[in-house]
Structure 1
């Protein structure tokens, strides 16, 4: 469904984008529970008083739904549209955590809908007692310097979407692509990944994933840099490291199964309680990352991560 929606956005942009373009200036907003959220949408053309404006919401794991047509007067106590000549603002009063998601403005033009680029709205605090952050990075391949390297930031056990940003030696990068998995208890595991040229990955630069769970300004950061393949004189460490990595991955896999599918093992889920902190958490997992081999709908991954875990 996400793929169909993306294709629809692309089609509308190709057909009509030369005449009218919508832009949502704030890609992410944090709002406290019960406050009023204001989502802004600007246009290159006259919006005709907003009579043809719509607002769509796509919650995590769901298809987009129309929540407001600015022409109608229904549910005005919850949603309100404010218009200027080249802009429209959606106000959402008394907002709740269940209303977290990506909001798209849309304009009906010659029987087509033109969409904005979306604003992610995060309500309240997404952090829970079971939240943790880990980096997945490519396993060292010696002298390999061609192709691309995939790096992934795994955010486990959150109650709603979070803000993930990447930087390379302090320089902000484009936002990564996010996949999600919802557990039976309603918590989310998010995987946000970026692809960089292999020579950038092997250049020794510092790669940092920063996760913001709420509007406090605090964040969790995890960092790593390329580490060359082990020297031959260290080869006698490979066997115990491989054994330790296998044991670690087995424990992590069982833990995820316990958390996501407790009924399969006959247990009730148990929530661990790592301390909430703005310091780097977890460690680094070297793995084979093959995001391109996923199904196009983004729901499955073809290969599992294999590697060793070392402290950041």
Structure 2
């Protein structure tokens, strides 16, 4: 009984000493180049009966052991490079199909200790059908849970992508990632971020950034909380808006009738072209444009031509 307890205690100590962690969470490499995936440890990974393994998991597949660092097999494709306190896996002539998650593991006695892994992205994951969508939290969800749930959706990519979040410049690392493979072989990734309601309603800008390749270019989608009418006041918002528009229209027509000359020599005056809509904090501004035409009559009523508001 004491011997069993000793073995359990030794295993726990060994596991604590051999904590593995990746040096880089994402690595971007060009096609046909050499990929170098480092794995670090608090202790040396050589000697003492410790074996180092490398596993790869691609989308839609289970983890597969691709390299055991104690043998010299398949050196033409994979090679293990020992470091002072770690091990680096080198992949020569890397191709897009080798994109995926790579994990280093050490074996001692009869169990394996895995690191958190690194994601290798080879070439460009962007395709002609790729798009990025940011979903903001709904009001019922904020009320019921007190948390703001956001989702960044990346659709139609050929390989993994890097998705990162920040709130007004502060990086967020607590996002959860899910993936799905379509029938045509394309991939969709969903990154879910849950933050406190107060953080969302403080009007800070929340940004989802997606990186597809090593070029450094990325796609960014941003959102922030905009205060709206509550349920008790919203029922009055539409009638007030319609009434205000009608009043503005009547006043404009009256001013046009007073200011326009009523002589036989009246000439129609063309107005400037309508300006584009401006969006400021979710408010859409539109400009009414009044135009008059002379159709062979001495004087005619000037109709109001308003620029419709885009939804």
| TM-score for the superposition, normalised by structure 1 | 0.68
Match of 2:146 in 1: 147
Match of 1:289 in 2: none
Match of 1:170 in 2: 169
In the superposition, relative to structure 1, how do residues 160 and 84 fare at CA in structure 2: closer, same or farther (>3 Å)? Answer: same
Q: Report the CA distance between 1:110 and its aligned residue.
A: 2.1
Match of 1:8 in 2: none
Q: Report the CA distance between 1:142 and its aligned residue.
A: 10
Q: Report the CA distance between 1:109 and its aligned residue.
A: 1.6
- Describe the superposition over 1:204-226 as per-residue Cα deviations: whole angstroms up to 9, x where unpaired: 11110000000000000000011
Is 1:31 matched up with 2:25?
Answer: no
Q: Report the CA distance between 1:62 and its aligned residue.
A: 1.7
Q: Which has the larger radius of gyration?
A: 2
- Describe the superposition over 1:264-284 as per-residue Cα deviations: whole angstroms up to 9, x where unpaired: xxxxxxxxxxxxxxxxxxxx9
Task: List gaps (5 residues or longer) in structure 2.
Answer: 1-10, 239-281, 283-309
Match of 1:156 in 2: 155
In the superposition, relative to structure 1, how do residues 210 and 45 fare at CA in structure 2: closer, same or farther (>3 Å)? Answer: same
Distance of 2:237 and 2:22 partners within structure 1: 52
2:177–2:189: 8 Å Cα contact kept in structure 1?
A: yes
Task: List gaps (5 residues or longer) in structure 1.
Answer: 1-12, 239-283, 285-309
2:141–2:148: 8 Å Cα contact kept in structure 1?
A: no
Q: Report the CA distance between 1:201 and its aligned residue.
A: 1.3
2:141–2:147: 8 Å Cα contact kept in structure 1?
A: no
Q: Report the CA distance between 1:178 and its aligned residue.
A: 1.2
- Describe the superposition over 1:145-181 as per-residue Cα deviations: whole angstroms up to 9, x where unpaired: 9622211000010000000000001111115211111
Distance of 1:100 and 1:236 partners within structure 2: 55
In the superposition, relative to structure 1, how do residues 15 and 199 fare at CA in structure 2: closer, same or farther (>3 Å)? Answer: farther
Q: Report the CA distance between 1:234 and its aligned residue.
A: 4.5
Distance of 1:177 and 1:202 partners within structure 2: 22
Q: What is the count of residue pairs matched by the alignment?
A: 229
In the superposition, relative to structure 1, how do residues 235 and 213 fare at CA in structure 2: closer, same or farther (>3 Å)? Answer: farther
1:180–1:189: 8 Å Cα contact kept in structure 2?
A: yes
Q: Report the CA distance between 1:199 and its aligned residue.
A: 1.3
Higher relative contact order structure (alpha carbons within 8 Å, sequence separation ≥ 6): 1
5 Å-filtered alignment, 1:1-312, equals 16-49=14-47, 52-141=51-140, 144=143, 147-231=146-230, 234-235=234-235
2:142–2:197: 8 Å Cα contact kept in structure 1?
A: no
2:98–2:122: 8 Å Cα contact kept in structure 1?
A: yes
Which SS does the other structure have where 2:38 is aligned? strand
1:151–1:195: 8 Å Cα contact kept in structure 2?
A: yes
Q: Report the CA distance between 1:235 and its aligned residue.
A: 3.7
